[in-house]
Structure 1
Amino acid sequence: MNNPFKDKSLYKFILNKYVIVSLFFVIWILFLDNYSYLDHRVLNKEINELEDNKVYYQEEIRKDKDQIKKLKNPAQIEKYAREKYYMKKDSEDIYIIEFEGDTLDKR
């Protein structure tokens, strides 16, 4: 029984013990290990999403700090209460005018 591939250099290269061990190692690292390449891709995507959330929340914190600075003035507190919570003085009447397509900010 003669093997026709026995003399071929590619056949010898593939059956080389170093190539087999190296191939096994690469497959292990890419797919099977706890720190596999696939897991790293998922974790990197998660990190990018969290960094985007961080930027968003830092911007919201900055806006809230600006709003707090404005609300230290009593006139601004009154304006905010009138606009957001529809508060009024005893002698006033409030009329809310809605146009078609407009919605109120309900909190």
Structure 2
Amino acid sequence: MERLLNLIKNKYLITFLSFVVWMLFFDRNDVATQYSYQKQKANLQEEKDFYVSENAKIEATLKNIRYNAEEVQRIAREKYKMKKDNEDIYIVVEAPKVEEEN
């Protein structure tokens, strides 16, 4: 009992505990804020990785277009529905899947 009383009266322990509580809950950079920052950082990193890979794909496509005439024709036919004078174009669209209800 006396030991517990001495611990409570210890100004260094009280100061240390006050500091820990302040840093964990009340400070501008508390634990919850740091957690949300880390979560946001992870989301931004995923987004960055996505855009880097998309950029690499686009650069590869541009390089392929510059040096390959067949690639230019393929893109013109697929994306812009262009055709030669003696050709017909048929566009095939998949029907949406219908779910059965029991």
TM-score bracket for the superposition, by shorter chain length: 0.7 to 0.9
Are residue 86 (structure 1) and residue 81 (structure 2) matched? yes
Q: TM-score, normalised by structure 1?
A: 0.76
RMSD: 1.9
Q: How many percent of aligned residue pairs carry the same amino acid? A: 36
- Structure 1 unaligned spans of 5+: 1-6, 103-107
Match of 1:65 in 2: 59
List gaps (5 residues or longer) in structure 2.
98-102
1:1-107 to 2 correspondences below 5 Å: 7-72=1-66, 73-101=68-96
The aligned length equals: 96
Please identify which structure carries the higher helix content. 2
> TM (normalized to structure 2)?
0.79
| Large movers: runs of 4+ above 6 Å | none
Partner Cα distance (2:96, 2:76) in 1: 24
